[in-house]
């Protein structure tokens, strides 16, 4: 993914250092730059995190995949979630699963155990992978997308960030993963790290699909994002992996004739951006430097993030805001 000029980067780093707190939210960026997210209206979870099925052995898909209209919701540039879509069973994971100084991850309860298995398997292989961004509410995504339009221009923002309703992060089943080897940044170079390669080769075994593969932009509408993984279940992920299709193609095939009609296409242009947002220097892409215009982020969840997953309903669910340009 793109990057910024070194001057802007320095400014960003300085701002990030000034603003960094343990509660900094995902995306790295921008408490000063991005509006603070408000608490998400999350309903009380109906199941405890421990209720999630936890395979006791190395995952190996065996069952034939079946369509799960909840887990396999279509989200793309053509398919949107309603603004009112908020998973009812979000949980907050321990803070030590998150990228340092980022908020604890927030995912649906069914994703918590597979995600833990994925990260612990990586650790067993000597690789530390952490979550940088997870659930994002519709409102947060609106702010995030607006930020990137303002920063990158609309055309580029649409390649790298999703308009509200079109982000898989709203599902609560999607995470952006990062490693120290890529500076904890969400950049294409992550795909070349040992951690990125490990995920590309193995995440499907744990039920996760890389939604936006290299050279997939013509189909997915988004640039290569080797860090962005969506949980679709183990059997579906194994089937997806074998299919060699992009995830959206695979899900559409899974729906077959029952695929819902395309949602209303996104507007061709946006209303004027809000004024008063500090604008980083214009980015000039280079391949290796993180471009995140960062600085800290909105106040994060107040839940005590120790032990296993904590129901989000008990916390202020603002752990989710991000300025990372990822769908
Ligand atoms: Zn993402």
pLDDT at site 308: 54
Distance 132 CA to ligand 1 centre (A): 9
Of 164 and 274, more confident: 164
**Which of 245 and 302 is assigned the larger pLDDT?**
245
Tell me the CA–centroid distance for residue 37 and ligand 1, in Å.
17
Q: 12-16, 43-47, 85-89, 174-178 — which is least confidently predicted?
A: 12-16
Select the more confidently predicted residue: 236 or 305: 236
Please report the pLDDT score of residue 131 as a whole number.
98
* Segment 14-38 mean pLDDT: 31
Interval between CA 30 and ligand 1 midpoint (Å):
17
Distance 313 CA to ligand 1 centre (A): 23
Per-residue pLDDT, 264: 59
- DSSP string computed for 142-206: HHHHHHHHHHH-HHHHHHHSPPTTS-GGGGT-EEEEE-GGGTT---GGGGGSHHHHHHHHHGGGG
Task: Using the predicted structure, report yes or no on whether residue 275 has a pLDDT greater than 80.
Answer: no
Residues 6 or more apart whose Cβ sits within 8 Å of residue 162: 77, 141, 145, 168, 169, 222, 327
Say what the pLDDT of residue 311 is: 64
- Which is more confident, 262 or 306? 262
Query: In the chain, what percentage of residues exceed pLDDT 90?
Result: 57
Residue of 216, 255, 214 lying closest to 232 (CA atoms)? 255
Asked if 79 and 163 count as a contact pair (C-beta separation under 8 A), the reply is: no
Task: Determine the distance separating the centroid of ligand 1 and the alpha carbon of 72, expressed in angstroms.
Answer: 16
Strand arrangement, sheet containing 90-92: 106-108, 90-92, 310-311
pLDDT value for 327? 73
Across the range 112-118, mean pLDDT stands at 98
Ligand 1 midpoint to CA 228 (Å): 4
Distance 65 CA to ligand 1 centre (A): 24
Ligand 1: centre distance to CA 168 (Å): 7
Kindly give the distance from the C-alpha atom of residue 303 to the centroid of ligand 1, in angstroms, as a whole number: 23
pLDDT computed for residue 309 by the predictor: 61
CA–centroid distance, residue 326 to ligand 1 (Å)? 4
Does residue 17 have a pLDDT over 80? Answer: no
Report residue 6's pLDDT band, with 50, 70 and 90 as the boundaries. very low
Q: Ligand 1 centroid vs 138 CA: distance in angstroms?
A: 14
Does the pLDDT of residue 112 top 70, yes or no? yes
Q: Is the pLDDT of residue 232 over 90?
A: yes
* Ligand 1 centre distance from Cα of residue 176 (Å): 5
The pLDDT assigned to 49 comes to 42
Task: Compute, in angstroms, the gap from residue 225 CA to the centroid of ligand 1.
Answer: 8
Q: What is the mean pLDDT of residues 263-288?
A: 41
Percentage of the chain beyond pLDDT 70 is: 61
Of residues 300 and 135, the one with the higher pLDDT is 135
* Confidence (pLDDT) at 204: 98
Q: Which residue has the higher pLDDT, 151 or 313?
A: 151
pLDDT of residue 59: 53
* Spacing, Cα 116 to ligand 1 middle (Å): 18
| Burial bucket for residue 115 (CB in 10 Å: 0-12, 13-18, 19+) | buried
- Complete domains list, the chain, with CATH: 71-280 (3.30.1380.10)
Instruction: State the Cα–Cα distance between residues 200 and 194, nearest whole angstrom.
Output: 10
Ligand 1 is an ion; its neighbours by CB within 5 Å are: 176, 228, 326
Find the mean pLDDT for residues 71-80.
94
pLDDT of residue 150: 94
Please report the pLDDT score of residue 261 as a whole number.
84
Is residue 273 predicted with pLDDT exceeding 60?
A: no
Give the pLDDT of residue 244.
95
239-252 pLDDT tens trace: 999 999 999 999 99
- What's the whole-model pTM score? 0.69
**What's the half-sphere exposure (Cβ side, CA atoms, 13 Å) at 226?**
25
Mean pLDDT value of segment 36-54:
41
Q: Quote the ligand 1 centre to 45 CA distance (angstroms).
A: 24
Distance 133 CA to ligand 1 centre (A): 7
């Amino acid at each position: 993914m793109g990057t910024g000029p070194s001057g802007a980067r320095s400014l960003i780093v300085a701002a990030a250092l000034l603003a960094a707190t343990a509660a900094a939210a995902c995306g790295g960026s921008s408490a000063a730059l991005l509006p603070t997210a408000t608490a998400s209206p999350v309903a009380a979870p109906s199941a405890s995190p421990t209720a999630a099925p936890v395979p006791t052995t190395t995952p190996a898909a065996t069952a034939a995949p079946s369509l799960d209209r909840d887990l396999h919701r279509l989200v793309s540039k053509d398919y949107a979630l309603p603004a009112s879509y908020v998973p009812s069973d979000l949980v907050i994971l321990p803070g030590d699963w998150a990228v340092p100084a980022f908020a604890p991850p927030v995912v649906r309860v069914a994703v918590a155990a597979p995600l833990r298995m994925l990260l612990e398997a990586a650790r067993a292989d000597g690789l530390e992978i952490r979550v940088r961004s997870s659930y994002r509410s519709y409102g947060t995504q609106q702010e995030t997308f607006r930020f990137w339009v303002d920063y990158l221009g609309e055309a580029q923002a649409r390649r790298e960030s999703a308009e509200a309703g079109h982000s898989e992060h709203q599902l609560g089943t999607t995470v952006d993963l990062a490693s120290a080897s890529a500076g904890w940044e969400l950049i294409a170079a992550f795909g070349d790290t040992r951690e990125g390669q490990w995920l590309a080769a193995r995440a499907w075994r744990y039920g996760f699909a890389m939604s936006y593969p290299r050279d997939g932009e013509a189909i997915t509408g988004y640039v290569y994002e080797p860090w962005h993984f969506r949980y679709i279940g183990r059997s579906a992920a194994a089937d997806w992996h074998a299919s060699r299709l992009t995830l959206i193609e695979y899900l559409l095939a899974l729906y077959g004739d029952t695929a819902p009609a395309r949602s209303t296409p996104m507007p061709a242009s946006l209303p004027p951006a809000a004024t008063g947002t500090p604008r980083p220097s214009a980015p000039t892409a280079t391949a290796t430097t993180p471009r995140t215009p960062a600085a800290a982020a909105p106040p994060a969840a107040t839940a005590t993030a120790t032990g296993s997953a904590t129901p989000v309903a008990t916390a202020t669910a603002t752990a989710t805001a991000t300025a990372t340009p990822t769908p």
